[in-house]
Amino acid sequence: MLLLYLGRCPAADVMSRHKSKTPNQRNTRGAVMRRAPLSRHHRAPRPSSLSPELLQKRADALAAHADMLRNTRLSASEAAKDHSVTIRDLWKYIPKAFKKDKSGRIRAVADRYIRRMEIHGPNGPELIKVRGSKARNEVARYRNDVFRFQAGDLAALDRWDGVTIQGHKLFTDRKILLAQAEQDNLPEHFGSEQVIPYSGGAA
């Protein structure tokens, strides 16, 4: 007599369980999770939502990031300590400005975060807003050349004549810049993030 077995085959159950999982679902505590950078799981707070104290934390985190971009050997913990913030602050305020390499080391990368920075203007310091570390670095290079010019290098500003950074034309009037230096009418935080409360729904 031919007997029909209507139950499920154990082997079929095993195959079904394996097919039900996608590659991302399997081994979530293993390689898949290790490859995902921490920054993907965090969203930076809007600067306009921060108190002056927290804006200072954000500014310090941005300064630590700038140091790491300049010196690739500088560790995140060292840069954070230099600016009185923690690794947690770096991930909290500017998460997309960092990533972990294969060894687990935190590296600084180019970003698109808003910075508000002081630069020279015809009547003294002016506050501008730029987006991203690339623009911030350009402002810093302009700052260094202004200092060089005021120290006696008369050709230091030649490269900046007529240059704009994200719509902001850089000020290069030599006579006025020298007069401002003599009057000490200079940006207090030239080339670094300004800690001023946001208003009017600014980013």
60 inside domain: yes
Range of the domain at 77: 49-108
pLDDT of residue 161 exceeding 50: yes
Phi, psi (deg, nearest 5) at residue 120: -75, 145
DSSP E strand stretches across the chain: 98-100, 106-108, 114-121, 124-131, 164-165, 168-169
Same domain, yes or no, for 125 and 150?
Answer: yes
Interacting residues of 188 by C-beta distance below 8 A, sequence separation 6+: 118, 125
pLDDT of residue 73 exceeding 70: yes
Q: How far apart are CA 189 and CA 195, in angstroms?
A: 10
- Share above pLDDT 70 across residues of the chain, in percent, rounded to a whole number: 71
Same domain, yes or no, for 168 and 136?
Answer: yes
pLDDT of residue 37 exceeding 50: no
CA 25 to chain centre: 31
Same domain, yes or no, for 54 and 86?
Answer: yes
Q: Across residues 49-59, what is the average pLDDT?
A: 91
pTM: 0.70
- One-letter amino acid identity for 87? I
Domain count, the chain: 2
pLDDT at residue number 82: 96
pLDDT at residue number 152: 93
Same domain, yes or no, for 121 and 103?
Answer: no
pLDDT at residue number 158: 98
200 inside domain: no
pLDDT band at 198 (very low <50, low <70, confident <90, very high): low
Phi, psi (deg, nearest 5) at residue 168: -100, 115
pLDDT at residue number 14: 46
| Alpha carbon separation from 135 to 3, 32, 38 (Å, rounded) | 78, 34, 25
Q: Across residues 15-26, what is the average pLDDT?
A: 48
pLDDT at residue number 43: 85
For helices 174-182 and 133-150, what crossing angle results, to 10°?
A: 80
92 inside domain: yes
